Amino acid sequence: MLETALSEELTEHLGHKKHRPDRDRTSGNVRNGKRPKTVLTEATGEVTIEVPRDRDGSFEPQIVKKRQRRLNGVAEVVLSLYANGLTTGEISAHFAQIYGASVSK
C-alpha cells in the first residue's frame, strides 16, 4: 500500500502517469527507478519498501518522507484503512473529510 501511495505521489509531482508523458511538457523530469528503504513500524517491526525516484531529484514524498525511518501515525492509519478494504480513493476522501488534509490517491 505504501509503495502504491508513493507511486501516486510521484505521478502527481510529475503531472503524468507512468509511460504516458504529455507531448507539450517542458520539463525533462521523468521517473528514474526505485530505491529500497527500510522503515520501522509499531505493529510489524522492520518493513522494506521501494521508493520511486525522479530524474532531477525534486520529488519530496509526503507519506514516507526522505530520511524518515519510522512510520508516523498517518502512514499506519493509511495501512490500517487499506487493510480493512478501503480503496486509495476512499482513503484520500476520508482524510479530506476527517482531517481536512489533501492526500493524493
Q: Measure the CA–CA gap between 63 and 17, rounded to whole angstroms.
A: 19
pLDDT at 28 over 90: no
Q: Measure the CA–CA gap between 59 and 45, rounded to whole angstroms.
A: 26
Q: Residues of the chain with pLDDT > 90: what percent?
A: 15
pLDDT at 56 over 70: yes
Segment 99-105 shows an average pLDDT of 62
pLDDT at 44 over 90: no
pLDDT of residue 100: 60
Q: pTM, whole model, 2 decimals? A: 0.64
Query: Does residue 46 lie within any of the structural domains?
Result: yes
pLDDT at 87 over 70: yes
Q: Which residues contact 10 (CB under 8 A, 6 or more apart)?
A: 31, 52, 54, 59, 61
pLDDT at 91 over 70: yes
Could you give the angle at which helices 73-83 and 2-14 cross, rounded to 10 degrees?
110
Query: Does residue 103 lie within any of the structural domains?
Result: no
State which residues form the domain around 79. Answer: 2-22+29-98
Split into its structural domains, the chain has a count of: 1
pLDDT at 24 over 90: no
